Amino acid sequence: MARSALLNVMVQAAIKAGKSLGRDFGEVQNLQVSVKGPGDFVSNADRKAEKIVKDELLKARPTYGFLGEESEEIKGTDGAHRWIVDPLDGTTNFLHGIPMFAVSIALERNNEIVAAVVFNPATDELYTAERGGGAFLNDRRLRVGARRVLSDSVIACGVPHLGRGNHGKFLVELRHVMGEVAGIRRMGAASLDLAYVAAGRFDGYWETALSAWDIAAGILLIREAGGYVSDWDGGSSILETGSVVAGNEYIQKALLEVAKRPVPAR
């Protein structure tokens, strides 16, 4: 596949950060970990990876803005462009030695995501996309799954944990969805959930209370793989609301309808 100069910069930044994470992953028990909040850990590896990504991206485009999980936002002087970065999506997985984590990088131009990279160094899987150019996994073209009914589908989700999310609301959503689908999976890394939908591994995915850096790259991956992504209200304010429902044309619509069913009256 032919990549633009900007996508090449993003790929190199992700791979460089991924190599650093891979080295730390091999010594995960020795990492110094600080507590950022209940159940939400940030490691030296996380901060180091963000510095690598930031340095690489801003060296290539110093006027662009930068939004990352572990540092203050840089507005930039460009005005039209912004990098949106999660240097280690799936921190809890990483710290527990579970090889489901990723570096996620998206480029936003005039409020639209135009390029995306999600890289899992533990599996050496590199997902890339550019607007209008398709989505790829290690240079293989991606398409979302073709299943048309929820009863045949495997659906991914995020599960709120200690100190995060509305547990009661999620249990209602889960109750509705689990009775309609072939299986439910929880990966612990939103960027990979979305990438797996783009690859056809998952048929759909829903989650709320996310941050822009969790989902920006994955949104473009799915759209360029022929899929559909909306916020919880069926609109396009995904980064603003932090809610996402994804799948192909049929599953995304059906999943949104089922997950949002009201609680039945007793």
pLDDT tens, position by position, for the chain (266 residues)? 679 999 999 999 999 999 999 998 888 766 667 776 555 567 888 999 999 999 999 999 999 999 998 889 999 999 999 999 999 999 999 988 899 999 999 999 999 999 999 999 999 999 999 999 999 999 899 999 999 999 999 999 999 988 888 899 999 999 999 999 999 999 999 999 999 999 999 999 999 999 999 999 999 999 999 999 999 999 999 999 999 999 999 999 999 999 999 866 55
Task: Give all domains of the chain, ordered by start, each with its CATH number.
Answer: 5-141 (3.30.540.10), 150-260 (3.40.190.80)
86 is in an annotated binding site: yes
What's the angle, vertex CA 15, arms to CA 126 and CA 100, rounded to 5?
A: 55
Amino acid at site 69: E
Instruction: Please check if 69 is assigned to a binding site.
Output: yes
Is 152 marked as binding a ligand?
no
Vertex 99, ends 70 and 252: CA angle to 5°? 80
Q: How many degrees, rounded to 5, is the angle at CA 63 between CA 117 and CA 132?
A: 35
Question: Annotation-wise, does 257 bind a ligand?
Answer: no
| The pair of three-digit structure tokens given for residue 173, joined into one six-digit string | 């959503």
Going by C-alpha positions, the residue among 68, 83, 104, 85 that lies closest to residue 189 is 104
Distances (CA, A) of 45 to 67, 143, 185: 18, 33, 27
β-strand 40-43 against 134-137: which pairing, if any?
Answer: unpaired
Residue 88 annotated in ligand binding: yes
Query: Strand, helix or coil at 205?
Result: strand
